[in-house]
Amino acid sequence: MDLLEYQAKELFSRIGIPVLPSQTIKEPRELKQLQIPYPVVLKSQVRTGGRGRAGGIKFVGNTIDAIAAARTIFNLSILGEYPEVILAESQYDAQEELFLAIVLDYKLKLPVLLGSAKGGINIPLLLDNLQQVVVATEFSPFYARRLVSRMGLSGELIQSVSDIVVKMYRLFQKTDLDFVEINPLGVNAQGKLMALDGKIKINSYALVRHPEIYSLNALTDVSLASREQLNLNYRSKFQLQWQDWQDEKGKIAIVANNSDLITLCWDLIRQKKEKPGCGVVVPWVENIEESGNLANWCEKLEEALEALQDVKRLKVIIINVWASSQVNEKIAQKILEYYLPEKEKPLNQDDSERSLVVNGSVFPSQRQTRNKSTADKELSSGIKIVIRLADENIIRFSKQSDSKLLSWTSNLEDAVTQAISLVKIKN
């Protein structure tokens, strides 16, 4: 999870990294109660980069100018993101600007300290001067001094900048960060340091054990944090995951229970010179056989199929699900139920009647009504469905329906070949 600048600064200040006096503004008129003396700088609080160039940072000398500038910033989107908060901050007369960061290196499986004596917005210059120190053992302050020395700093700065790096490392470790950066770390004429801008990315797996993050002073982020937390929560593991890659000309959609299966299917379609359109994962959960889990999963599958119905260009949907044979059976029944109108429905009537009695209802349940209307829509939309289940006896499902709508196979390459030939049939 990425924190906003003012939240990062709050964490900096808690651990003793110097930041300027500042105040968050949620509406321009709050500037009338500004506690910081002018001149101040107003900064749009967005997660995307490049806000300076886009006009998201303004220097102002009095309340009237400040309110006008705040209005502009609130209405300015930075790569599609509008700020919910503006940070009003004192100005700082930096003579030098440094860059400091700590990042997890996945190749080395170790944290790495990074620093550049040329911080700020000149990125090529910053990168040309980038130095790194790998933290290969338990962290100790000498690692920080090593970095600062490699950056070419001298005199008082060696100790004072090292101290900042040590504090950044503590924060990194204590709060389970993936990434922490100060850019720039301003140095004024007296050699005093100030973290002028910062970025913090918290490891989302670890978020659950950092309640202090929720207390960070902001509405937007509490909701963001809890949303991320929800993602770790059992129930929301069922959320559909639409793959980023899409092809607007593609006529085949892929539905699977894991994203790797979508990748595989996409490959196979492309290898046969056809274009896939989109892919959606109905995420598998552990212990799908346990009561409730499979029913929830099937509901999400329906949701995915329903949504694909509205994609006009589609001609075929490939459904590829890996499960045990008992689960295959239930999923196949679900697909049959969803696509085939009542009269063709292969489920034995006893079952549905029994459930009606159990429900104590004499009316057709809502679900059945919905099925029927969906099925009609399905037929008229003309989208064909190819279902691949890794089941040796898959033929039993085709026997249950003589529909032209559905075809069943246990071989994925077969499924792809069938889908492509269905695309090529002219309506």
Residues that bind another protein (CB under 8 A): 49-50, 101, 103-112, 114, 123, 126-127, 130, 132, 137-138, 173, 176, 178-179, 181, 203, 205-206, 208-209, 232, 244-245, 257-258, 260-261, 263-264, 266-268, 270-271, 286-287, 289-290, 322-325, 390, 411-413
Neighbour-count burial for 178-203, b at 16+ CB within 10 Å, e otherwise? bebbbbbbbbeeeeebbbbbbbbbbe
Query: What one-character DSSP code corresponds to residue 78?
Result: B
Report the nearest approach of another protein to the CB of residue 243 (Å): 9
Q: Would you say the C-alpha torsion 24, 27, 31, 32 has a positive or negative sign?
A: negative
Q: Which is nearer to another protein, 195 or 340 (CB)?
A: 195
Residues 41 and 87: their CA atoms lie apart, in Å, by 8
What CA–CA distance (Å, rounded) separates 338 from 371? 6
Instruction: Please state whether the peptide bond connecting residue 141 to the residue before it is cis, i.e. omega within 30 degrees of 0.
Output: no
Nearer residue to another protein within complex by CB, 177 or 314: 177
Q: How far is the CB of 415 from another protein (least distance, A)?
A: 12
In total, the chain counts a number of residues equal to 427
Q: How many CB atoms lie within 10 A of CB 275?
A: 14
At closest approach, how far in Å is the CB of 185 from another protein? 15
| Token output for 112 | 């790495």
Conformation bin of residue 244: beta by default, left when phi > 0, alpha when psi is -120 to 50: alpha
Min dist CB 77 to another protein, Å, is 17
Helix (H/G/I), strand (E/B), else coil: 122: coil
Write down the least CB distance from residue 198 to another protein, Å: 13
Q: Output 5 or 337, the one with its CB closest to another protein.
A: 5
Phi, psi dihedrals of residue 140, rounded to the nearest 5°: -145, 150
Q: Which is nearer to another protein, 74 or 179 (CB)?
A: 179
Min CB(162)–another protein separation in Å: 19
Are the C-beta atoms of residues 65 and 41 closer than 8 Å to each other? Answer: no
Q: Is residue 91 within 8 Å of residue 59, measured between CB atoms? A: yes
Structure tokens at 380: 């008229």
Residue 388, both tokens? 């691949």
Cα gap 257→347, rounded to integer Å:
24
Do the beta carbons of residue 115 and residue 72 sit within 8 Å?
no
In terms of Cα–Cα distance, which of 231, 98, 77 is closest to 165?
Answer: 98
- Classified as helix, coil or strand, 298 is helix
Residue 161 CB, nearest distance to another protein (Å)? 18
Residue placing its CB nearer to another protein in the complex, 111 or 186: 111
Nearer to another protein, 263 or 381 (CB): 263
| Helices 156-174 and 141-150, axial angle in degrees (round to 10) | 130
Residue number with CB closer to another protein (194 or 323): 323
- Residue with Cβ nearer another protein (208 or 219): 208
Question: Based on CB atoms, which residue is closest to another protein, 243 or 309?
Answer: 243
- Residue 65 Cβ, how far from another protein at the closest point, in Å? 31
**Cβ of residue 105: shortest distance to another protein, in angstroms?**
4
93 or 248: CB nearest another protein: 248
Residue closest to 49 by CA, chosen among 57, 61, 59: 57
Measured distance CA(55)–CA(73) in Å, rounded: 8
Smallest distance from another protein to CB 231, Å? 10
